[in-house]
A and B are shown apart, each in its own frame.
Chain A
Amino acid sequence: MSVLLFTIIVLLGAFFAGLLGSLTGLGGGVIIIPLLTLALGVDIHYAIGASIISVIATSSGSAAAYVKEGITNIRIGMFLEIATTIGAVCGAIVAVYLNANYIAIIFGCILIFSAIMTLKKKVDHSTLDDSDKWANFFKLNGSYPDKAVEHKYAVKHVPGGFLMMLFAGTLSGLLGIGSGALKVIAMDNIMRLPFKVSTTTSNFMMGVTAAASAVVYLHRGQIDPGIAMPVCIGVLTGASLGSKVLLKTKTDKLKIVFAVVVTFLALQMIYKGISGL
């Protein structure tokens, strides 16, 4: 395939990956990696390197807006970034030595898990009980504005959330994805944050987490400009369009259709990985 044709195909694919990723909340990375590996035969190491760059671009872009609105809890974000960056660096180092088939199998499993998570109905676990001594020590309790009203919230189970973030960071570094689904579990279910705070803070953290593993990938030659260029431009434009459309449309049906497609892709990646062992 010529460079020009390859660039155009990847650019279009990345655009739709970014668009659908932001509409369904799955993120662009989880779609662009199967696309590159299954449809274009790109080695998963290159696909991961390109995907992590697109994660930095989209998360920093949208974090900019959320931070200005004052919903993001910068203290929680930075505190948990210790866990996610340690995890990300470890994950990225492991990925270099791991056989591409094993990565494909793990990726497939996480993909199925993320698809299920987007379909699950979210339950608000937020609390006002500010007795957690870790949360008080690290000043994690806070408030966020919603329709000009300031809502207070308290944080629970800080060590549990921290451990889960270590795991989320490792998977992010290993697979080149934002691992938003795991971050949301850590913050919604374990630390009991309100949705708005957990989703925006998770987004805020993704940039630094992805940067930590991207640095390792760059040194290892996993970031190829020929792939990373169309992937990050495509995903970023798709995701920005998606975030504008998202405010006007209902995405429930789209999520179901998309979860089925993603599960199918995931099974194919697992099958390909197992048959290649």
Chain B
Amino acid sequence: MSTGKKENLNDKDIQVILGTLLRAGVIISMSIVLIGGIIFLIHNKGAITDYKVFKPELSKFSSIAAIFKGVLTFQGDAIVQFGILMLIFTPIARIVFAIFSFLIEGDYLYVLIGFIILTIITISLNGGLAN
């Protein structure tokens, strides 16, 4: 990964922090999904499922704003969706961290690459392309 000894030490630290960040993100977001899932099941266990036809217009939590609104009113499915949102942001946070660490290393080429990836994700996040 690197050529010099000094750089090597630096890369090792980055790897450990990156690993911890990823693991923490997965554990925290999956715990939220689990808690939300239990609340959702308590309230809806008898309801009938219907996923035979894709009906995007029925989706209650398809935007970040809607998810936050649902979490504030303590709806189980909104909490699940919030956990999923956190899970989606875990690898994105990893890119942000990588940008900072490459900045400290002085590797500006990879700072730029990190920004390119973030830009692609941000464009899709804003729904600019999806709409």
A residues at B contact (CB < 8 Å): 1-4, 6-7, 40-46, 53, 56-57, 60-61, 63-65, 67-68, 70, 72-75, 78-79, 81-82, 85-86, 89, 92-93, 96, 100, 138-139, 142-143, 207-208, 210-216, 218-230, 232-233, 236
Q: How far is the CA of A221 from the CA of B47 in the complex (A)?
A: 20
Knowing A64-B22, A218-B62, A226-B40, say if A208 contacts B91 (CB, 8 Å): yes
User: For this complex, into which size category does the number of interface residues on chain B fall?
Assistant: 35 or more
Q: Do B52 and A215 touch (CB < 8 A)?
A: no
Nearest A residue to B58 via CB reads A221
B residues at A contact (CB < 8 Å): 1-2, 11-12, 14-16, 18-20, 22-23, 25-26, 29-30, 33-34, 36-37, 40-41, 44-49, 51-59, 61-63, 76-78, 80-81, 84-85, 87-92, 94-95, 98, 107, 109-110, 113-114, 116-117, 120-121, 123-125, 127, 129-130
Q: Do A211 and B92 touch (CB < 8 A)?
A: yes
Q: How far is the CA of A1 from the CA of B1 in the complex (A)?
A: 52
Q: How far is the CA of A201 from the CA of B23 in the complex (A)?
A: 16
Knowing A232-B84, A233-B34, say if A224 contacts B52 (CB, 8 Å): no
> Taking the nearest CB of chain A, how far is it from the CB of B63, in angstroms?
7
Nearest A residue to B45 via CB reads A4
Q: Do A219 and B84 touch (CB < 8 A)?
A: no
> Taking the nearest CB of chain B, how far is it from the CB of A204, in angstroms?
9
Knowing A63-B22, A85-B120, say if A233 contacts B30 (CB, 8 Å): yes
Interface of B is mostly: helix
- Residues of chain B lying within 8 A (CB to CB) of residue A56: 87-88, 90-91
Q: Do B47 and A3 touch (CB < 8 A)?
A: yes
Knowing A2-B46, A208-B91, say if A75 contacts B110 (CB, 8 Å): yes
Nearest B residue to A218 via CB reads B62
Nearest A residue to B85 via CB reads A218
Q: Do A219 and B127 touch (CB < 8 A)?
A: yes
- Residues of chain B lying within 8 A (CB to CB) of residue A64: 19-20, 22-23, 26
- Residues of chain B lying within 8 A (CB to CB) of residue A207: 22, 90-91, 94
Q: How far is the CA of A221 from the CA of B77 in the complex (A)?
A: 13
Knowing A57-B87, A207-B90, say if A67 contacts B80 (CB, 8 Å): no
Enumerate the 4 nearest inter-chain pairs by beta-carbon distance, A residue then B residue, closest first.
Answer: A221-B59, A207-B91, A221-B56, A68-B19
Q: Do A216 and B54 touch (CB < 8 A)?
A: no
